[in-house]
Amino acid sequence: MTVDTEQQSVEMSTETEGPGGFDVREDVPRPTLTIIHHPDWDLVGVRAVIPARGGLLGRSSRSMLPGAFDVGKVSREHARVSIANAKVVVEDLKSRNGTSVNGARLERAELEPGDVVGIGGVLLMLTLDPRHFAEPHHRTILGHSWSVAQLLEDVDRVATNPHAVTLVGETGTGKELVAAAIHERSERTGDFVAVNCGALSEGLLESELFGHVQGAFTGATSSRRGLVARAEKGTLFLDEVTSTPPRLQTVMLRLLESGTYRPVGGNDESRADVRVIAAAQPDIHEAIDAGSFRRDLWYRLSRRIVELPPLRERREDIPLLARHFARTERPKAELAPELSLALVEAPWKGNVRELRNVVERCVEASRDTRLSNTTAVPHGRQTPRERPRMRLRQPKRERPSREALVKLLIDVDGRIAVAATQLGVDRKTIYRWLDAHGIDRDAIRQTDPS
């Protein structure tokens, strides 16, 4: 089954500012319907920007997504979405089997980002996306959302640069997967070597990282190479880097500044050709302010920052990820629409790692390939009030002065995504402004804002 998007693109190219008064610039997020569950999983991820004049959903060839609703229990003109007074509204067109919003059958409803419209066996999520963005494709980083597309852009941006990279993200967002992806695209010929800095004591971590010489401590009956040596000409991934003991932070700083280190108990310095990728929680700055993590080490590690989105910011990817995890356990597994909906609405404080654990329990509890039992899905689901409200009109932003932009970047430690949020623009706009002013944001990251 295929979806004819040519007609859709022609229709959308003629749009003007609609009754809701939203901005039609290419880089401004637009209200979009994204298929998140479909009997034909090849169609999951297909999306359509809602036209200013509204759009039809159903089996009719005039549908916003022609061909996507050629399934049972869907009428030719099943429902309509429209934009009025800065609101997206869905109305059932007296269809035989009805239209649902977040699982409740309704005749008419105002939608917020993250709301799920059900038509037959098809689930669509309202998202705010730019009109066009490159469809993300990666072997291990799965998803079709704008957040994943931005993440993969960042991976490509930093991959071939020799400087250290820090991945900032909540627990369970896949920092090691992203680090491995950066290594794969870096063209470095050595190995990818990972260590969890929070899982070992100070002595063990130092020996694990830098190796030791014979007799360095009780039980050191022979010399041993450390992970830094094993990662020669490759990448060393330091997970939970803020858990590194203070004395070892000094040693790490010397490794980053001079490329040298000493094995435990050794007198001779060794040189290392290693690219370092570190991982930290979003509260990294609290550790720096508290003095438990060295500010100068942070500046060395954060010359390039990649921020990983939590699962709640890429909820349209949840059914796709869940199906992948289910099929890892049971190759022919399929998700029922009610399970996809329950998974999408759950809070996922543990992010992708928690999602995988829950899906595995769903598979274990089911004797069938069709997974429909929702009892394992965590409670405390998100409500519309907890979701970000839609802003269809965004004021045009004039480029700030060089001094104002530099000050802001210093205040946010060079984090482009944070600066973009504060200014109400997207990250690409910030990059354009940096280029226009000739600003080196790496230099800004080396500046102590205090």
Over residues 414-427, the pLDDT tens digits come to 778 778 767 767 77
d(CA 422, CA 74): 43
Could you tell me the residue ranges of all domains in the chain? 6-129, 146-307, 402-445
209 compared with 429, residue with greater pLDDT: 209
Whether 349 shows a pLDDT value over 90: the answer reads yes
- Interstrand relation of 165-168 and 304-307 (parallel, antiparallel or unpaired): parallel
b/e burial code for range 377-414 (CB count within 10 A of at least 16 → b): beeeebeeeeeeebebeeeeeeeeeeeebbebbbebbb
d(CA 33, CA 129): 9
Which stretch of DSSP H or E encloses residue 210? helix 202-210
Whether 8 shows a pLDDT value over 50: the answer reads no
414 Rama class: left (phi>0) / alpha (psi -120 to 50) / beta: left
Over residues 80-115, the pLDDT tens digits come to 999 988 899 999 999 999 999 999 999 999 999 999
Asked which of 156-160, 162-166, 376-380 is least confident by mean pLDDT, the reply is 376-380
Tell me the CATH class for 146-307.
alpha beta
High-pLDDT (> 70) share of the chain, %:
85
The size of the chain, in residues, is: 450
pTM (predicted TM-score): 0.80
For the beta sheet containing 79-84, the strands, ordered from the edge strand earlier in sequence to the opposite edge, are: 55-57, 79-84, 87-92, 108-111
Question: How is 47-81 classified by DSSP, letter by letter?
Answer: EEEPPTT-EEESSSTTBSSTTTT-STT--TT-EEE
Whether 387 shows a pLDDT value over 60: the answer reads no
Q: Which two tokens stand for residue 272?
A: 């290392």
d(CA 134, CA 142): 14
CA dihedral 117, 342, 345, 48 (to 10 degrees): -30
Asked which of 179-188, 212-221, 420-429 is least confident by mean pLDDT, the reply is 212-221
Amino acid found at 449? P
Which of 82-86, 142-146, 198-202 holds the top average pLDDT? Answer: 142-146
DSSP 8-state assignment for residue 212: B
56 compared with 444, residue with greater pLDDT: 56
Question: How is 222-276 classified by DSSP, letter by letter?
Answer: S-B--HHHHTTTSEEEEETGGGS-HHHHHHHHHHHHHSEE--BT--S-EE---EE
In the predicted model, what is the mean pLDDT of residues 151-158?
93
Whether 7 shows a pLDDT value over 60: the answer reads no
Q: What is the pLDDT of residue 445?
A: 56
Q: What is the pLDDT of residue 13?
A: 31
Over residues 245-288, the pLDDT tens digits come to 998 999 999 999 999 998 887 778 889 999 999 999 999 989 99
**The domain defined by 6-129 carries CATH number 2.60.200.20:** yes
d(CA 266, CA 223): 10
- Residue 388: pLDDT band with limits 50, 70, 90: very low
